[in-house]
Amino acid sequence: MTTKNSLYERAHRRRNPLTDRWVLVSPHRNTRPWNGETHRSSQAPRPRHDPACHLCPDAQRATGERNPPYTSVHVFDNDFPAVEASPDNDSAAGPDNSALFAAQPVSGTCRVICYSPDHDRPMSRLTDTEIARVVDCWADQTRALGAQHRWVQVFENKGEMMGCSNPHPHGQIWATDHLPDELNVEDEQQRLHWSRHGSPMLRQVADHEFEGPRQVLANEHWLVIVPYWATWPFETLLLPRFGVRRLDEIPVSARATLAGALGDLTRRYDRLFDCEFPYSMGWHGAPYDGTIHDDTHRRGEAALHWQLHAHFFPPLLRSATVRKFMVGYEMLAEPQRDLTPEQAAAQLRELATSRR
């Protein structure tokens, strides 16, 4: 609990232990008048099936290929992948590969996951059973792609505000032969914590935050918090309450409760400002190459410092039409937020989550 004139009521900085970066917290700024840009919220109902949608069952995609009449989760290779399989990568770096102008070839696989055949039902409107099928798909895809690639990124961009190009509820998987920058940082910080404390960082975070002021929801196996170091106004972190490094290692019993936690959280988001809440979310788990952690370990035995987790980064600040912009000071100095994580968690925690 905070008291008047406490640190949490004044401007202060908080450190993110996963990245060793800081965020400026300015609790008083959320009361300032807003005359800036507002986003026109699109609340028009969507049809159950849209024949013009490239992701709906039996629809023709932009490449001319036709989707099957799928009735559950559907996965296919992205028609416009950000990275592609390239067996002849040696010449891809170009002539200016130097200390100042470095480049390196990349290869990988990009896939799309349609959560259900229904065009009008995002994750918040799926049943727990339907969400469990998505979880199983995540696990199957990461296991298969992890056998060939160093890193497998499961993510979802939801809503026009987050740059989603198609409203049909779907996510993506990008698997690459390199470990992306953000994961290099998380790997290093978690490994450092392990060496100092002998326990995974995020296991300790989950134990500390359970039933605390930043908890949003919890069940038998999973915990959702607004992290102490959150950057986005209603950012959340989904954590297991047991040791697990990757999506494909989640036991069957915990997959069912994960589906419940995902449905609960996304419904809370929708109810916060009474809209289909936009966000970017993604899973971070141990890479599928043990040699980047310890050359003496075989694959699957390394990465003991890792704990699986999912980040949710929603942009809305005050309402369905006012978003947080990362500009100016945020781009040039460090991120800044306008309400404390404790205040954000309290708002999410108090929401009822029955399906609409």
List 74, 149, 170, 284, catalytic entry:
170
Three-state secondary structure call for residue 122: coil
Nearest to 83 by CA among 205, 180, 214, 13: 180
Domains in the chain: ranges and CATH: 181-349 (3.30.428.10)
Q: At residue 264, what is the residue type?
A: D
CA atoms within a 13 Å half-sphere pointing along the CA-CB vector of 87: 0
d(C-alpha 273, C-alpha 265), whole Å: 14
In DSSP terms, 171 is beta-bridged to 113
d(C-alpha 136, C-alpha 255), whole Å: 8
Whole-prediction pTM: 0.91
Using alpha carbons only, give the angle 32, 37, 39 rounded to the nearest 5 degrees: 115
User: How would you write the pLDDT of the chain (356 residues) with one tens digit per residue?
Assistant: 444 456 677 899 999 999 999 999 998 776 654 444 445 555 678 889 998 999 999 999 989 999 999 999 999 999 999 998 875 555 555 566 678 888 889 999 999 999 999 999 999 999 999 999 999 999 999 999 999 999 999 999 998 888 787 889 999 999 999 999 999 999 999 999 999 999 999 999 999 999 999 999 999 999 999 999 999 999 999 999 999 999 999 999 999 999 999 999 999 999 999 999 999 999 999 999 744 333 333 344 468 999 999 999 999 998 888 889 899 999 999 999 999 999 999 999 999 776 55
Q: Cβ-count burial of 160 within 10 angstroms (0-12 exposed, 13-18 middle, 19+ buried)? A: middle
Q: At residue 201, what is the residue type?
A: M
309 CB-near residues (< 8 Å, 6+ apart): 202, 237, 238, 239, 240, 283, 284, 285
d(C-alpha 15, C-alpha 311), whole Å: 17
Residue 170 is a catalytic residue: yes
